[in-house]
Structure 1
Amino acid sequence: MKKYLIKNLAGSWIFYTTFPKLPFIKPEFKNIAQFAPPIGFFIGTIQSYIFIFLRSNSWSIYASALICLASGYLITGGLHIDGLMDTFDGIFAGKKKRLKAMKDSKVGSFGVQSLVFITLIQIACLLKIQNQIIFVLPICLFWGRFSNLFFIEKFKYISYKKKSISHKQFWKGFKKESLLSIIFIIIFIAFHLLSFISPAKVIKNSLLILIGIFVSKTIPNMLGNKIEGFNGDACGASIVLVETTMLFMHAILL
């Protein structure tokens, strides 16, 4: 069982990032979705330290924010942003042309607009959060990827091709697939309860966690109902929309 989990972790490492293959481990891709939220937290931590490093070396807040976001695209290969653009092109193409528009390698006007809109919001949020980024960005990226577990659980897989492999094919149910993430968030909560002596900060962070659960469930539900299922592009769109929404909520409350 332990060896199986390690192989799936190696598979998720390859699938969700552009990092090199882990040595001496043969990757598996059957149940990798369960590892996406912690990997998101890890990616967010790297991006945060890039931002902090640049700020501590006299880079402007604007340049630091832009490079922070660019590093995320580099680490993920732009996988989720591509899904966001394709999904919005599909939604506004109408029901009959939806899958064709999502499959098309060309980006439409609605896809471009979604990218610009989301990027501007993320930049604005980073400028507001600034030095709090190390506490904010990792958990926002965690919630973005956690939303996919709700997505896969509730909706059927819609494919462009007759023969394609889906997370749904090897899905073991939400309880089992989300167990790792639930343990992770419990540890995160415990750490924050020990770190924040101020009752006001404890209340704010508890509220943000509840909002994270709500947003992680609501956005994929809206997308799934709109496109009548899920696929890789829709999962990418869910990740970006959820993490952006959570960035915005943290910017307001913090």
Structure 2
Amino acid sequence: MKTLWQEWLGAIAFYTCLPLPPRWPMQLAGAAKWCPWVGLLLGGMLWGAQGVLQFLRVPPLVAGVGVVALWLGLTGGLHLDGAMDTADGLAVQDPRRRLEVMADSRVGAFGVMAAIIILLLKATALSGLERNSALVWVLVLGRLAQVWAIARYPYLKPQGTGQIHKASGCFPRDFWPSGLLVLLLIFLLPVSLGQFLFGLLLILLIPAWLQQQLGGHTGDTYGAVVEWTEALMLVAFTTESAS
């Protein structure tokens, strides 16, 4: 139990900007399996923020932008940065240079465009969302997609922040926290079968497509998996609201 608690704290410290007491023991190795639970924590906070903005009668689009801004603040833009670097790398025609471009700290035009599309999708989808509880599902499934990418596909760099997650993982055993959380959400925050299956499809297809383009994954592509899964799941929930 002590190790699990340290892994949980390590997941919060790595994947969020939430303050933790500096003396609390934390462990990054093995923390990746708790990513969906971090999504539960963040999703609950965003759900509350969205509810407060609606109570204050803030215009829907403004409220959507505000929630997305808080979203970025809570995560430090960690996943969005990875999505931007991944977009820049995929824009390179020579597959052998893609990892080199992704490692460059400078952001290119394709990275900026990817960020704009993701942020616009999220903000506009939030403005039309009827069930704020959907935010919990969105953040959980986005991080479940990351856990799947870590477990299923090779890591392309000998070093890097994502390497420790791949090296310390023990799959399929490490899927038990994610499975438990999904079961709890099915009972507590039920969604339609179509939405659930669409989320599972994204979890399978987005990491697989990036694997096909690059031959594996990096810390940047893990971030891209999270961001695109979240954005497209929000669109799916908004589509339900519109119908």
The farther-off stretch of 33-42 and 20-29 is 20-29
Deviation, structure 1 residue 58: 3.0
Amino acid corresponding to residue 34 of structure 1 in structure 2? K
SS of corresponding position for 1:59: coil
Query: Paired residue for 1:73?
Result: 72
CA contact (8 A) 2:60 2:128 kept: no
Identity %: 26
Q: How many residues align?
A: 240
Query: Paired residue for 1:29?
Result: 28
Query: Paired residue for 2:225?
Result: 238
Which 5+ residue runs of structure 1 have no aligned equivalent? Answer: 194-203
Change (3 A) 1:57 1:218: same
Cα deviation per residue 1:93-119 (whole Å; 9 max; x = unaligned)? Answer: 131221111011111010011011111
CA contact (8 A) 1:136 1:250 kept: yes
Deviation, structure 1 residue 224: 1.6
Amino acid corresponding to residue 229 of structure 1 in structure 2? G
Instruction: Pick the aligned partner of 2:144 from 143, 146, 165.
Output: 146
Which 5+ residue runs of structure 2 have no aligned equivalent? Answer: none
Distance in structure 1 (CA, Å) of the matches to 2:134 and 2:56: 21
CA contact (8 A) 2:125 2:235 kept: yes
CA contact (8 A) 2:82 2:222 kept: yes
Distance in structure 1 (CA, Å) of the matches to 2:222 and 2:21: 25
Cα deviation per residue 1:186-245 (whole Å; 9 max; x = unaligned)? Answer: 11112246xxxxxxxxxx622211221121111111112211111110000000001111
CA contact (8 A) 1:157 1:166 kept: no
Distance in structure 2 (CA, Å) of the matches to 1:164 and 1:192: 31
SS of corresponding position for 1:75: helix
Change (3 A) 1:24 1:231: same
1:181 aligns with 2:178: yes
Normalising by the residue count of structure 1, what TM-score does the alignment of the two structures yield? 0.89
Query: Paired residue for 1:250?
Result: 237
SS of corresponding position for 2:128: helix
Cα deviation per residue 1:68-92 (whole Å; 9 max; x = unaligned)? Answer: 0000100000000000000000011
Distance in structure 2 (CA, Å) of the matches to 1:163 and 1:38: 20
Change (3 A) 1:189 1:62: same
Distance in structure 2 (CA, Å) of the matches to 1:27 and 1:162: 19
Deviation, structure 1 residue 163: 9.9
Normalising by the residue count of structure 2, what TM-score does the alignment of the two structures yield? 0.93
Cα deviation per residue 1:135-183 (whole Å; 9 max; x = unaligned)? Answer: 211111111000012111221111275898431111101x211111111
Instruction: Pick the aligned partner of 1:166 from 164, 167, 173.
Output: 164
Query: Paired residue for 1:107?
Result: 107
Query: Paired residue for 2:202?
Result: 215
Query: Paired residue for 1:128?
Result: 128
Amino acid corresponding to residue 149 of structure 2 in structure 1? F
- The RMSD of aligned alpha carbons is 1.8
Q: Which runs of 4+ in 1 moved over 6 A?
A: none
Cα deviation per residue 1:52-72 (whole Å; 9 max; x = unaligned)? Answer: 212212322222111100001
CA contact (8 A) 1:158 1:230 kept: yes
